[in-house]
Amino acid sequence: MNKVSAAITAVGAYVPDFVLSNQVLETMVDTNDEWITTRTGIKERRLLKEPNKGTSHLAIKAAENLIDKANIDPKDIDLVIVATATPDMPVAATAVFVASEIGATNAFGYDLQAACSSFLYGMSTAASYIESGRYKKVLLIGADKMSSIIDYEDRTTCIIFGDGAGAVLFEPNTEGLGVQDEILRSDGIGREFLKIDAGGSILPASEETVKNKQHFVRQDGKTVFKYAVSNMADVSEQIMKRNNLNNEDVSWLIAHQANKRIIDATSRRMKLDDSKVLMNIERYGNTTSATLPLLMSDFENKLKKGDNIIFAAFGGGFTWGSMYLKWAYDSNSN
């Protein structure tokens, strides 16, 4: 009897039309294109500008893109997970609304929050449901409207983040494809270095917190950078060793797009050729929960059945990890 593994069988994505370029940011804060490009690799990012639309708008568009492309009946979906750090509302899970809007009327839904590692952790959760045999179709969406928590007067954060969404479908596989292994970690030391101070149960919203701009994300970039570089490289190297993979065996690195220098440090430690490192940070910036599925969508045509992919992420909390997955389909034949 073949063991059931959890494979990704379809992907979809959505980014809003509005482009915020480095050149426009130069007119908003004391920064310049050269600094942003050399320190981060980012050239532009997308922002959701339409009023009264939240993260669910991005998530629904990404899910609909997947459903159209893969020709799936949404009624067959068992579970919708939305990985996000910017839910529509603090209470009433975004995934529940998304599931209803896309016609997944037989599914249940919930949100998963682990900052920039939300999607990677979500892949672990979705895969476990499939491997256990409990569900057959799990839709995992990574979506964030980062512009809703960014202070566009703070040059240390507003140059980094953008809005976007991506979706993947997990299904059972009996050919040994899909998720092979994972290393997931977290460390509470991180919460001082990347956070939103107010709006939670410690410091609920008040006139004071709004006046003090405490509802925006703040980070100690230098410290986060140091932890990100060493931790993401460590787990990526470990997962290769544990699975007897050398740099030739690895087809692709799909890493969280926070800073090109962090990704470069990880791929150097893995001794990977640059051509195997998927990158789109220059176009979207850091879209938090959406970076990994946006990469899968943008480079879907390159991914071939049986390809060995290492995923890696690092985020606030701190949260981080890596996953080894064998790609399950050739997109041209899909």
Contact residues for ligand UT7 (CB under 6 A)?
A: 31, 35, 39-40, 116, 155-156, 159, 221-222, 224-225, 228, 258-259, 262, 286, 314-316
Nearer to ligand UT7 by C-beta: 222 or 241? Answer: 222
Distance CA 210, CA 226 (A): 31
Q: What is the CA radius of gyration of the chain?
A: 19
286 assigned to active site: yes
φ/ψ region of 226 (left if φ > 0, alpha if ψ in -120 to 50, else beta) reads alpha
Nearer to ligand UT7 by C-beta: 140 or 258? Answer: 258
Nearer to ligand UT7 by C-beta: 178 or 317? Answer: 317
Nearer to ligand UT7 by C-beta: 85 or 127? Answer: 85
Nearest approach, Cβ of residue 85 and ligand UT7 (Å): 10
The active-site residue, picked from 22, 173, 259, 286, is 286
Q: Which two tokens stand for residue 62?
A: 């990404």
Q: b or e along 114-129 (b: 16 or more beta carbons within 10 Å of the residue's beta carbon)?
A: bbbbbbbbbbbbbbbb
Q: What is the phi/psi pair of residue 328, to 5°?
A: -110, -5
Nearer to ligand UT7 by C-beta: 252 or 314? Answer: 314
Nearest approach, Cβ of residue 34 and ligand UT7 (Å): 9
Nearest approach, Cβ of residue 167 and ligand UT7 (Å): 20
Within 13 Å, how many C-alpha atoms sit on residue 286's CB side?
26
Q: Which two tokens stand for residue 263?
A: 């990704």
DSSP 186-218: E-GGGGGTEEE-SSSSSS---HHHHHTTTTSEE
φ/ψ region of 198 (left if φ > 0, alpha if ψ in -120 to 50, else beta) reads beta
Nearest approach, Cβ of residue 70 and ligand UT7 (Å): 29
Q: What is the phi/psi pair of residue 206, to 5°?
A: -150, 170
158 assigned to active site: no
The active-site residue, picked from 65, 116, 158, 259, is 116
CA 173 to chain centre: 23
Nearest approach, Cβ of residue 307 and ligand UT7 (Å): 25
Residue whose entry in the numeric block shows the structure tokens 């998304």: 98
The active-site residue, picked from 22, 158, 231, 256, is 256
Nearer to ligand UT7 by C-beta: 225 or 284? Answer: 225
308 assigned to active site: no
Nearest approach, Cβ of residue 228 and ligand UT7 (Å): 4
CB-nearest residue to ligand UT7 = 221
Q: Are 145 and 163 in contact (CB under 8 A)?
A: yes
**Residues classed as catalytic:** 116, 256, 286
